[in-house]
Amino acid sequence: MPEITRDEVAHLATLARIDLSDAELDHLAPQLSVILDSVASITGVAGDDVPPTSHAIPLTNVFREDVVVPGLTAEEALAGAPEVEEQRFSVPRILGEGA
Amino acid sequence: MTAPTTDTALMPFDDVLAAYDPALGLEVHVELNTASKMFCGCPAVFGGEPNAGVCPTCLGLPGAMPVVNGKAVESAIRIGLALNCEIAEWCRFARKNYFYPDMPKNFQTSQYDEPICFDGFMDVEVEGTTYRVEIERAHMEEDTGKSLHVGGSTGRIHGADHSLVDYNRAGIPLIEIVTRPILGAGEKAPEVAKAYVAQLRELIVALGVSEARMDQGNLRADVNLSLSPKGSGTLGTRTETKNVNSFRSVERAVRYEMQRHAAILSGGGTILQETRHWHEDTGITTSGRVKSDAEDYRYFPEPDLVPVAPSREWVEELRGTLPENPTVRRSRLQAEWGFSDLEMRDTVGAGALGLVEETIAEGAAPQAARKWWLGELARRSNEDGVDLVDLPITPADVARIQALVDEKVVNDKLARQVFEGVLAGEGTPDEVVEKRGLAVVSDDGALGAAVDNAIAANPDVADKIRDGKHAAAGALIGAVMKEMRGQADAGRVRELILEKLA
């Protein structure tokens, strides 16, 4: 089982917006490798006739009727927002990432 | 974002074609017109009071569980079938992970390697030539929230730049339709791109699955373009111009990017793979985001939604609800309307087929409907730089104006003023006629007086008419029309002149 490299952990941390120091990377990368190895041991147990699956229950086509149901009021929706302006969620601009 | 500049080097279009082959790709997002959102029961209506159409699910609050809107799946399948796609027997939703505040969940629920529709095509006609546009996929996803960017320069309390987000739009069902690279269009690449989007819109309207207003953002196009050395058969590095929101702009954006790429390549430069912003006002693109490692969305199957497995019976049932095939429809309409091949081609090319059809359905004669949309209104759409369909006038208005002409309430010349009034937002055609006092005078009393004046002022002409030279009546009609400021029924004026000078 290929282990996860320090560089890969650094890349994932960047993607997840987690600021890790060099010391933390040194510390975490080997730990993540151990975790991945442990999870990977499941593939050894599953036979070739067991396909990978993303869902634990064999259900498909669970649909909702296209009907409007009441949600939250704007006041309720914004109640947990750190900052509100003009009845909108006020968020810091994220530099270098235009939509 | 770089400020728009116009000093970018461009190669003349003909020179581009001499040296390069363009490859086009189009990604079109269609906002469905379902009553509720994709994964929750909030209204699928954008606008209105900010953040009043949201719930724990579309806000991504902990513990909220999404459930797929069955109607949206139905619409996705119908779009796929209309585009000659295969419909997946089994497919999943996936999380597209990214950090941007337009999605409160920190991911967008989309589909990744298992789109519900794939491997289709649409035949697009440009000036009599048919181009087959291959559809790679059409998948289901959800729209994002709407951000208002507040600049630091506006002197707000916080000083620093920040954004205000309204999540009413977040979660509205979207279908993203992606083409394979369109090769071999050559000099017609800009027109093929425009015709594809226009024809796709027509199809979406016929399916009734979206309002499909480009100016309202119900239909949004991203334009991919690359050039390769002529005859090389390779694919060059592409740029992706985002949110091009009219047919006309799709054509202009392709043309602009072809000219810009060619100037860079011929100068020995390389094309940066990036997204670009389209500027409607200046007709140019500017650099957006460079595609890089950071663009790693870490897609994985959405654990909160079970797979979608449309039964073949359902798919066939939906196939039975499809509107007429576009090619068959055109032939039928052309026969019904008695249009020549050229008239039909111009109508389709102007993106006016649906508009003409609706105008005729509202009671106008086919040639009259064509005349107004391709004449007066096409001229206005060019002048204003908007698509015909986005002009603030409806097919019903056009049919009513033609009815006013037929009823001799206005003549052709006055009808143009009625168009002007309706386009200026002065009301319905009848209201414009009323407010502007445009109705022609066919009342014999008022006309008679004007005719008498004209005869008195032009005794020589009057004598000629008395001698039987009826062709001379034109001069008197002109004089009467001038006195009546154009608001006279020319036919009736002629009759009166001939009666009086018989």
Q: What is the pLDDT of residue B155?
A: 39
Residue A84 has pLDDT above 80, yes or no: yes
Query: What DSSP assignment string belongs to B280-324?
Result: TTTTEEEEEEE--TT-----EE-TTSPPB---HHHHHHHHTTPPP
Residue B269 has pLDDT above 80, yes or no: yes
Q: Is A49 on the interface with B (CB under 8 A)?
A: no
Domains of chain B: 13-155+162-313 (no CATH), 325-436 (no CATH), 444-500 (1.10.10)
**Of B311 and A52, the one with more pLDDT:** B311
Per residue in A62-71, pLDDT (tens digit) is 999 999 999 9
A71–B41 C-beta distance less than 8 A? yes
Domains of chain A: 1-46 (1.10.20.60)
Taking the C-alpha atoms of residue A12 and residue B62, their distance in angstroms, rounded to an integer, is: 23
Of B67, B92, B104, the CB nearest to A64: B67
Per residue in B299-311, pLDDT (tens digit) is 999 999 999 999 9
**Of B442 and B294, the one with more pLDDT:** B442
State how far residue B293 is from chain A, nearest Cα, in angstroms. Answer: 9
Taking the C-alpha atoms of residue B398 and residue B245, their distance in angstroms, rounded to an integer, is: 25
Per residue in B208-257, pLDDT (tens digit) is 999 998 888 899 999 999 999 999 989 999 999 998 989 999 999 999 99
Q: What is the pLDDT of residue B263?
A: 96
Closest residue of chain B to A80, computed from CA coordinates: B61
The tokens for B320 are 């039975």
| Residue of A83, A91, A95, A97 best to disrupt the B interface, most CBs of B under 10 A | A91
Distances (CA, A) of B404 to B20, B368, B433, B439: 53, 12, 9, 9
| Residue of A19, A53, A89, A94 best to disrupt the B interface, most CBs of B under 10 A | A89
Q: What is the mean pLDDT of chain B?
A: 90
Per residue in B463-494, pLDDT (tens digit) is 888 888 888 888 888 888 888 877 777 888 88
State how far residue A9 is from chain B, nearest Cα, in angstroms. Answer: 14
Read off the amino acid at residue B315: V
Residue B258 has pLDDT above 80, yes or no: yes
ipTM, 2 decimals? 0.87
If you average pLDDT over each of B37-41, B104-108, B478-482, which comes out highest? Answer: B37-41
